[in-house]
Amino acid sequence: MPRKLGILLLGTLCLTGVGLAQHRIGYVDTEYILSKLPEYQAVQQKLDQMVRDWQAELDRRRQEIDRMFEEYQTRELLYTPEERQRRREEIVRAEEELERLRQQYFGPEGELFRQQEALLRPIQERVLEAIETVARDEGYDYVLDKAAAPMLLYAPPEHDLSDRVLAELNVNLESQN
């Protein structure tokens, strides 16, 4: 749930005073739920490996650029003015290519974002469906996400639906402990 919507919902519930007595509110911890899902862990490992591979490529290219620059500095006085200019341009192009590649992998709409979206969305949708099922079956009017940061200041454990959501997702907690 987007933070602003959650704060607005919580504010509305607080302002209605009497309404709180009529509504049943529960909460879940989506970070906890996701950490217990084997498919989420597998996807996370796959994403982590992609990040390591891409970072290794960027590091390798950075070292190559550093080597080019050191070579340029060492031989600068031996180059003709045209050769100096050509070498500087070559280093600048390599720097620009490195930044382009960094954005391609890690930018706001880069490959990491697309992979997260493609691989994690189905899992997140399944969790959301399970939360909705538990909330409907157990008569909850509102379910807040404890993992959504400082919005939830206190939550009694009896209103934590996280383990019930995991049960809805057929996750056996006893085998994971």
Write the pLDDT tens digit of every residue in 62-71.
999 999 999 9
Do 145 and 126 reside in the same domain of the chain?
yes
Q: Is the pLDDT of residue 18 over 70?
A: no
Number of domains the chain contains:
2
Exposed e or buried b per residue across 70-99, where buried means at least 16 C-beta atoms within 10 angstroms of its C-beta = eebeeeeeeeeeeeeeebeeeeeebeeebe
Where in the sequence is the domain holding 32, given as residue range(s)?
Answer: 3-37+120-176
How many whole angstroms from its chain centre is CA 117?
A: 9
Do 58 and 107 reside in the same domain of the chain?
yes
Contact criterion met (CB below 8 Å) for 140 and 24: yes
What is the four-CA torsion angle of 8, 6, 17, 129, rounded to 10 degrees? 130
Do 16 and 64 reside in the same domain of the chain?
no
Q: How far is the C-alpha of 62 from the C-alpha of 115, rounded, in Å?
A: 24
Do 93 and 143 reside in the same domain of the chain?
no
Q: How far is the C-alpha of 8 from the C-alpha of 27, rounded, in Å?
A: 16
Write the pLDDT tens digit of every residue in 75-128.
999 999 999 999 999 999 999 999 999 999 999 999 999 999 999 999 999 998
Do 79 and 106 reside in the same domain of the chain?
yes
Which two structure tokens, joined as six digits, stand for 161? 């639906």
pLDDT at 33: 93
Write the pLDDT tens digit of every residue in 33-46.
999 999 999 999 99
Do 151 and 98 reside in the same domain of the chain?
no
Longest Cα pair distance anywhere in the chain, in angstroms? Answer: 84
The CB-based long-range contact list for 107-114 (8 Å cut-off, 24+ gap) reads 111/50, 111/54, 112/47, 112/50, 112/51, 112/54
pLDDT at 159: 79
Domain boundary among 82, 98, 113: 113
